[in-house]
């Protein structure tokens, strides 16, 4: 069997870190005195092929492989699959899902106690987005990977228009549009500077709008005094974040208004990703993980990657999709589960999975070590400012945010009413999961 470079490096560091992982949770012991780890099952929405390669490479190093089975489940049915399995006494030992999916499962997770991992060590070790995992009783997960939202830009389109620098702030797009937007004699859009304003054909629209909201200081959701999450979108004259929700929604939406000077997009165009790949869209907001796929789909496209644009005088941030390992409280092997996920998230292994996936690290020490790769350097910096928000169902929240934008852009509601109604709908969604 051919062994990759990724696997060879894994072999070299495995033995020491397996021992470290076993020792690490000495204060969180299970019932067995045996040093042989029992088999555990991990369910998640993380890609099966990537995780399987990761585990296989690790296990080549030892005569006693890590006893792990990973099962990928569709995000759309993960909740019902998981709850159904628990009801039948057949649930997994560990979950590997994105951070914004984790909230509904909090009462089914065994937090990693502060006696095993202190809050100070956790905060000092991981990027700030990982703070979503901190609870009063411990950590709901150990971070695994993060995938930040970045901006891809077409170098040829910018150069041909005489523009030497990509935009770093959102307010620069208005001036850029005057040079990069091209319409035919009938006013039909042929080339665009930016694709915003519609959830119908703007890829990652939920995450882009969420980024705008977070940059204005609106966290999208927050935890109230009772420990429940609630929407922060609602308009309230006494709330600064309410005004920010209007501002962010207006900015996102105005690019689809034909009467607006910045008009550059409409619902009849191909998707933003397809438009970028075809060379008719100057900028595309996608995840870091999309870089290699974009290159493969159009090897002749001359593009580069840049930081996500920011709001002037706003909070520097971008959306980050973070995955972490959470221990299911019904697992008969909680101690073993912790030992195994500690090994899987040790520094050398996380550095290797980041390299293999061409993604930044969730660990501050690995980011601080730097990289000779300019793209990884940029991704690492974006990881440091990446944020997300506690959610209960990203598909449902996507529909709510989409409805907020659509009701405003089609003239059905004022911006105030659109945001107000979306916030009320979001609260109802959150309350259903709390109940």
- pLDDT of 435 reads 56
**Cα separation of 318 and 309, whole Å?**
9
189-223 pLDDT tens trace: 999 999 999 999 999 999 999 999 999 999 999 98
Judge whether 207 and 391 are in contact, CB under 8 Å.
no
Distance CA 426, CA 288 (A): 28
| pLDDT above 70: residue 23 | no
User: What contacts 24+ positions apart, CB below 8 Å, involve 199-203?
Assistant: 199/398, 199/401, 199/402, 199/405, 199/406, 200/267, 201/267, 201/269, 201/270, 201/271, 201/272, 202/265, 202/271, 202/272, 203/271, 203/272, 203/273, 203/284, 203/285, 203/286
Residue-wise pLDDT for 338-363, tens only, equals 999 998 998 878 887 888 889 999 99
Q: How confident is the model at residue 242 (pLDDT cuts 50, 70, 90)?
A: low
Give me the mean pLDDT over the 148-177 stretch: 97
pLDDT grade, residue 62 (50/70/90)?
A: low
What pTM was computed for the model? Answer: 0.89
pLDDT tens for each residue of 308-338: 999 988 889 999 999 999 999 999 999 999 9
pLDDT-based confidence at residue 6 (cuts at 50, 70, 90): very low
Compute the distance between CA of residue 388 and CA of residue 161 in angstroms, rounded to an integer.
35
Looking at residue 8, its pLDDT comes to 44
Residue 306 DSSP SS3: strand
Q: Do domains 5-147+321-387 and 148-319+393-434 have the same CATH topology?
A: yes
**The pLDDT value given to residue 61:** 63
Q: pLDDT tier at 32 (50, 70, 90 boundaries)?
A: very low
21: confidence class by pLDDT, cuts 50, 70, 90: very low
Q: Which CATH code fits 5-147+321-387? A: 3.40.190.10
Mean pLDDT across 12-33? 40
More confident residue, 24 or 373: 373
Least Cα distance to 28 among 240, 260, 312, 339 occurs for 339
Domain boundaries, the chain: 5-147+321-387, 148-319+393-434
Residue 326, classed as helix, strand or coil, is strand
Give the tens place of pLDDT for each residue, 248-297: 999 999 999 999 999 999 999 999 999 999 999 999 999 999 999 999 99
Paired tokens of 433: 């999961």
pLDDT of residue 138: 96
Note whether 272 and 261 are within 8 A (CB).
Answer: no
Residue 395 CA to residue 246 CA, distance in Å, equals 22
pLDDT, residue 234, reads: 84
Class of domain 148-319+393-434: alpha beta
Which stretch of DSSP H or E encloses residue 352? helix 347-357
Is pLDDT of 2 > 70?
A: no
Per the prediction, the chain carries an average pLDDT of 89
59 or 408, higher pLDDT? 408
Q: Per-residue pLDDT for 15 more than 50?
A: no
The answer, yes or no, to whether residue 33 has pLDDT greater than 70, is no
Distance CA 284, CA 319 (A): 14
With residue 377 as reference, give the H or E element that holds it.
helix 374-385
Least confident of 31-40, 41-50, 358-367: 31-40
pLDDT higher at 2 or 41: 41
Tokens matching residue 381: 């910096």
Mean pLDDT along residues 6-24: 40
Q: Which residues of 72-105 are buried (b: 16+ CB within 10 A; e: fewer)?
A: bbeeeebbebbeebbeeeebbbbbbbbbbbbbbb
Higher pLDDT, 287 or 103: 287
Q: How far apart are CA 99 and CA 115, in angstroms?
A: 23
Quickly count: other Cβ atoms within 10 Å of residue 200's Cβ. 15
Written as six digits, the tokens of 3 are 């062994």
């Amino acid at each position: 069997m051919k062994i990759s470079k990724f696997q060879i490096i894994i072999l070299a560091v495995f033995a020491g870190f397996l021992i470290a992982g076993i020792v690490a949770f000495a204060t969180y012991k299970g019932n067995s005195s045996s040093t042989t780890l029992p088999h555990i099952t991990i369910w998640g929405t993380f890609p099966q092929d990537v995780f399987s390669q990761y585990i296989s490479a690790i296990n080549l190093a030892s005569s006693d492989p890590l006893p792990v089975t990973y099962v990928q489940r569709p995000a759309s049915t993960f909740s019902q699959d998981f709850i159904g399995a628990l009801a039948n006494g057949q649930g997994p030992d560990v979950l590997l899902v994105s951070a914004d999916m984790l909230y509904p499962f909090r009462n089914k997770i065994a937090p990693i106690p502060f006696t095993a991992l202190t809050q100070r060590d956790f905060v000092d070790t991981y990027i700030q987005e990982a703070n979503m995992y901190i609870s009063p009783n411990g950590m709901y997960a150990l971070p695994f990977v993060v995938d930040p939202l970045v901006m891809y830009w077409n170098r040829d389109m910018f150069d041909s228009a005489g523009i030497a620098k990509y935009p770093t702030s959102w307010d620069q797009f208005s001036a850029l549009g005057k040079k990069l937007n091209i319409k035919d004699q009938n006013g039909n859009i042929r080339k665009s500077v930016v694709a915003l304003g519609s959830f119908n054909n703007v890829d990652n629209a939920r995450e882009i709008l969420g980024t705008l909201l977070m940059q204005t200081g609106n966290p999208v959701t927050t935890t109230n005094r009772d420990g429940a999450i609630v929407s922060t979108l609602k308009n309230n004259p006494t709330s600064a974040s309410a005004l920010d929700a209007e501002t962010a929604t207006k900015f996102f939406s105005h690019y689809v208004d034909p009467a607006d000077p910045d008009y550059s997009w409409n619902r009849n165009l191909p998707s933003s990703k397809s438009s970028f790949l075809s060379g008719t869209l100057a900028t595309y907001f996608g995840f870091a993980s999309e870089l290699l796929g974009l290159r493969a789909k159009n090897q002749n496209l001359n593009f580069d990657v840049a930081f996500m644009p920011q709001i002037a005088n706003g909070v520097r941030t971008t959306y980050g999709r973070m995955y972490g390992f959470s221990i299911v409280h019904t697992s008969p092997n909680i101690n073993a589960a912790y030992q195994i996920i500690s090994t899987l998230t040790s520094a050398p292994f996380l550095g290797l999975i980041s390299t293999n996936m061409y993604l930044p690290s969730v660990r501050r020490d690995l980011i601080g070590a730097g990289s000779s790769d300019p793209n990884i350097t940029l991704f690492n910096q974006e990881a440091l400012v990446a944020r997300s928000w506690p959610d209960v169902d990203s598909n449902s929240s996507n529909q709510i945010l989409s409805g907020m934008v659509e009701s405003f852009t089609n003239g059905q509601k004022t911006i105030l009413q659109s945001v107000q109604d979306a916030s009320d709908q979001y609260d109802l969604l959150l309350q259903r999961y709390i109940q």
